[in-house]
Structure 1
């Protein structure tokens, strides 16, 4: 029983509740890891896009393609490897460890359901949400 309490206390110490994200940090992450394929404007025309076997998606249209709602959980799961991405051969193998590392935050989805993810991933997803076309 004591071990369980210690584990719960440790997990609580590493988790941050609520919408604690920083889109400015997410932008820096995007520029470091995503711009080569998705482009500076996130519309899918990055320098590497032309050599990919599949079309690079326009990340500014994610909400528009989802009835006006930004699909937070789907985006997060594609980035961190919980959902496979064909163009990446399944997971995003180059970036998986980056988006898994660090402190964990809890994001509240539009449905009200909480979703846990790394702070790095939460910041990136929050930046992508700011790019959505109206």
Structure 2
């Protein structure tokens, strides 16, 4: 009779422990943005992904951005490339999507009946992505 309540208690304790362990991991918006928008061309390691063979020009090694800029992460240039304000010669006819425009479209679809600031929405995602790229620079 005693065993009837021990098994459910043990299962509950295991569930709480497993859930607590997962909840302790912090959500990384920049990493999530990279994985959902960049990884196919630039790769999980930022050095080239599955679509490389289909592109006109091989994407640069994104871990080397600071090194190729005298040790300083080129924040403004990276922001403008992601936002779409600066075209990249190697992208030709714009192989790289203009994420600023894409983020605006997604925000409009998501926040249909809710007031929001589209510029803040776009800026937040781009800044999170840039922060992620900056954290992964080769030292």
Fold similarity call, TM over 0.5: yes
4+ runs of 1 displaced by more than 6 Å?
none
Going from structure 1 to structure 2, the CA distance change for 1:47 and 1:36 (only over 3 Å counts) comes to same
Q: Which has the larger radius of gyration?
A: 2
**1:53: how far off?**
1.1
In structure 1, list runs of 5 or more residues that go unmatched: 1-21, 106-116
Cα RMSD of the aligned pairs, angstroms, is: 2.5
Q: Residues of 1 paired with 2:92 and 2:28: CA distance?
A: 25
Higher RCO (Cα < 8 Å, 6 or more apart): 1
**Structure 2: where are the runs of 5+ without partners?**
1-25, 108-117
> Which has the larger helix fraction?
2
Say whether the 8 Å CA contact 2:41–2:49 is kept in structure 1: yes
Conserved? CA contact 2:83–2:98, under 8 Å: no
Q: How many residue pairs end up in the alignment?
A: 101
TM-score, L = length of structure 1: 0.66
Show the counterpart of 1:48: 51
TM superposition shift of 1:51: 1.6
Measure, in 2, the Cα distance between the counterparts of 1:31 and 1:94: 16
User: Cα gap change, 1:23/1:60 in structure 2, threshold over 3 Å: closer, same or farther?
Assistant: farther
Output one character per residue of 1:65-107: Cα deviation in whole Å (capped at 9) or x when no partner.
Answer: 00000000000001111100231624844533234554528xx
| Inter-partner Cα distance in structure 2 for 1:78 and 1:57 | 13
